[in-house]
A and B are shown apart, each in its own frame.
Chain A
Amino acid sequence: ETGVTQTPRHLVMGMTNKKSLKCEQHLGHNAMYWYKQSAKKPLELMFVYSLEERVENNSVPSRFSPECPNSSHLFLHLHTLQPEDSALYLCASSKKYRADNTEAFFGQGTRLTVV
Chain B
Amino acid sequence: KNQVEQSPQSLIILEGKNCTLQCNYTVSPFSNLRWYKQDTGRGPVSLTIMTFSENTKSNGRYTATLDADTKQSSLHITASQLSDSASYICVVTAVKGGSGTYKYIFGTGTRLKVLA
Task: State whether these chains interact.
Answer: no
